[in-house]
Amino acid sequence: LLVNASEALGRPIPETLFGIFFEEINHAGAGGLWAELVSNRGFEAGGPDIPSNIDPWSIIGDEYSSLTLSTERSSCFEHNKVALRMEVLCDAEGNNSCPAGGVGVYNPGFWGMNIEKGKKYKVVLYVRSSGAINVSVSLTGPDGLETLATQDIIASSCDVSNWKKMEVLLEANATNPNSRLQLTTTRKGVIWFDQVSTMPVDTYKGHGFRSELAEMLADLKPKFIRFPGGCFVEGEWLRNAFRWKATIGPWEERPGHFGDVWMYWTDDGLGYFELLQLTEDLGAFPVWVFNNGFSHNDQVSTFNVKPFVQEALDSIEFARGDPNSTWGSMRAAMGHPEPFDLRHVALGNEDCAKKNYRGNYLKFHTAIKKAYPDIKIITNCFGFSRKLDHPADFYDYHLYTSANNMFSMAHRFDVTSRAGPKAFVSEYAATGKNAGKGNLLAALAEAAFLIGIEQNSDVVSMASYAPLFVNDNDRRWSPDAIVFNSSQLYGTPSYWAQRFFRESSSATVLHSTLQTNTSTSQLIASAIMWENSGDSKSYLRIKIVNFGNDTVNLKISVDGLEPNSTLLSGSTKTELTSGNLMDENSFNEPNKVKPTQSPLENAGKDMDVVLLP
């Protein structure tokens, strides 16, 4: 491998080349990155109708003899009218006395709440009652026997004759990853509950994100975040699509919705505002994908698409409009008067083949470019095989394929036209039987593909793996980059492969030549150089994937070094390898396939490295 370290012979890599794609899939957000512990906090999961689905809330006590539960449209919140009505039939004493621990309801969260000793949790709930109340708010073990934290809320009948917001701060005296929240009482009467939330006090940057998951993202140094889908944006039916206006403002007032592609309810605590906040917290640019009148099964005609166009314009105003503008003022009211740095929007997801796509796209394009000429617009239609019949700044490209094919796709962009809109590879992953739930083979193929993208970053501007997250309790799509449950997490080999590229955006891709023969045609390599802002030093990184069956002894020569250059001193070698290509990480062995670093022996202008098969 010949590498020329002269930056003058290299090419600058776009500042947004590598980012991440967050989709609400696999409980990535609800029960994942969003730290809310209560699932279905508004008892609304069945939608706006009653009886609604209160699942996973459950009863504590004997239904009918000690209490009855029902839902009714009596909440103080206009957009989510359903509240829980709990009629307690037993009493503190007398013939029908309540059990010692009281009766009531519990919520096990998303397959158990992770409650940790010494940590604080803020419980907020809305209550109304026919009389005085004495309700214990507790965090307990899974069967309710072990109490980790508890506090009573006591209020007179005057206090709670109308809806009242109550807040309780609980500090856990023990750890249990499978905990639940309980609301119990021993007092007869009727109590209505609504919008019950439990959040850990410590979240990433104080913005409600589960810290250890957000840190996994921060470690990738993503330069953009595409969100919130994927198919989640479209829905199976338009009535269940993600509509951003229903996801902003006070959390209590959000209606929530049923995502009918990935088949679960979201309270929409992680809404449009929070996702913009996430991008800012991670130092990334938002890539906002909005619904442009298409779901999987229905579509809006171009004649009728105007309200969707207005909704898109409003979303841009919300993100970056003046704090005195209609929608910018709502952002300011949510605590963010400064605009978010929104520069990219994507019109729909995988909708190019649909009858009205072009017509609708043009309506959006005209309106957005008129109001916001600097906004870059991403089309769903692939622009490499033929010239697009509509204007676009980028074209979206999704690639899910076998590991072998993924490896060969590293050369996909070598032969595309250098003119026209650039590619946004917004979803890629090695999939299928050979990729398992995310194994070394898949990761190597993806690393090769990313090397190809790095080499072709004159025509590819952005790339992100998909899907990002999976809650192991609701695997709707495999493989994924980060696997978690209530308390554990690990990166799949694909996650670790992406780490090799975290310095690439804004770096210089150097001129390099791989002199191959047949046995080395399974090799692919690239070299980048960048200046580290921390120590203002220049760094060189050479990445090589050996996708073949043989060990390769590779000679690397670095030319173009300044005289007396110290660039190569202290060089290290980082390897992503394992005993078996099919090896995967797991909760039991989270680090089975993970990069290991060692000093690079004989680092210098000419060096030999051994690349395992």
State the residues that interact with ligand AHR by CB under 6 A.
Answer: 23, 25, 229-231, 349-350, 398, 427, 466-467, 477
DSSP state of 520: G
Closer to ligand AHR by CB, 23 or 260: give it.
23
CB of 335 vs ligand AHR, minimal distance in Å:
30
Cβ-based nearer residue to ligand AHR, 25 or 507: 25
> In this complex, which beta carbon is closest to ligand AHR, that of residue 23 or of residue 583?
23
The CB-of-234 to ligand AHR minimum distance in angstroms stands at: 8
Is 160 in contact with 129 (CB distance < 8 Å)? yes
Instruction: Give the whole-angstrom CA distance, residue 4 versus residue 1.
Output: 10
Q: How many CB atoms lie within 10 A of CB 564?
A: 5
Q: Which tokens in the block code for residue 252?
A: 């209590």
Q: Smallest distance from the beta carbon of 284 to ligand AHR, in angstroms? A: 19
Query: By Cβ distance, which residue is nearest to ligand AHR?
Result: 230
Please tell me whether residue 4 adopts helix, strand or coil conformation. strand
Minimum Å distance from CB 261 to ligand AHR?
Answer: 7
Residue 82 near residue 143, CB atoms below 8 Å: no
Q: Looking up tokens 């009863």, which residue turns up?
A: 59
How far is the CA of 264 from the CAs of 30, 439, 451, in angstroms?
9, 27, 36
Minimum gap (Å) between residue 426 Cβ and ligand AHR: 8
Query: Closest CB to ligand AHR among 380 and 456?
Result: 380
In the complex, the smallest distance separating the C-beta of residue 488 from ligand AHR, rounded to whole angstroms, is 23
Least spacing, CB of residue 16 vs ligand AHR, in Å:
19
Considering beta carbons, is residue 344 or 594 the nearer one to ligand AHR?
Answer: 344
Residue 14 CB neighbour total at 10 angstroms? 16
Q: How far is the CB of 263 from ligand AHR (least distance, A)?
A: 13
Other CB atoms within a 10 A radius of the CB of residue 370 amount to 9
By C-beta, is 427 or 446 nearer to ligand AHR? Answer: 427
Contact present, 169 and 120 (Cβ < 8 Å): yes
Q: How far is the CB of 427 from ligand AHR (least distance, A)?
A: 5
Cβ closest to ligand AHR, residue 350 vs residue 583: 350
Give, in order, the Cα–Cα distances in Å from 513 to each of 490, 506, 562.
36, 21, 20
State which residue, 74 or 478, has the beta carbon closest to ligand AHR: 478
Among the residues of 59-121, which ranges form H helices?
none
Q: Are 222 and 19 in contact (CB under 8 A)?
A: yes
Q: Which is nearer to ligand AHR, 198 or 498 (CB)?
A: 498
DSSP E strand stretches across 353-473: 376-379, 394-401, 422-430, 460-465, 469-471
Task: Output 183 or 466, the one with its CB closest to ligand AHR.
Answer: 466
Shortest distance in whole angstroms from residue 106 CB to ligand AHR: 33
Element (H, E) at 453: helix 440-455
Phi, psi of 318 (to 5 degrees): -60, -45
Of 525, 522, 521, nearest in space to 512 by CA:
525
Least distance between ligand AHR and beta carbon 262 (Å): 8
For every residue of 112-171, DSSP letters joined together read SEEE-TT-EEEEEEEEEESS-EEEEEEEE-TTS-SEEEEEEEEE-HHHHSS-EEEEEEEE
Do the beta carbons of residue 407 and residue 428 sit within 8 Å? no
For the packed helices 306-320 and 272-281, what is the interaxial angle rounded to 10 degrees?
40
What is the smallest separation between the CB atom of 350 and ligand AHR, expressed in angstroms?
A: 5
Residue number with CB closer to ligand AHR (35 or 346): 346
Q: 453 vs 554, which CB is nearer to ligand AHR?
A: 453
Q: Judged by CB, which is closer to ligand AHR: 22, or 273?
A: 22
CB atoms within 10 A of CB 2: 14
For the CB of residue 444, give the shortest distance to ligand AHR in the complex, in Å.
Answer: 20
Burial grade of 518 (CB within 10 A; 0-12, 13-18, 19 or more): exposed
Q: Two tokens at 246? A: 């229903």
What are 63's strand-pairing partners? 67
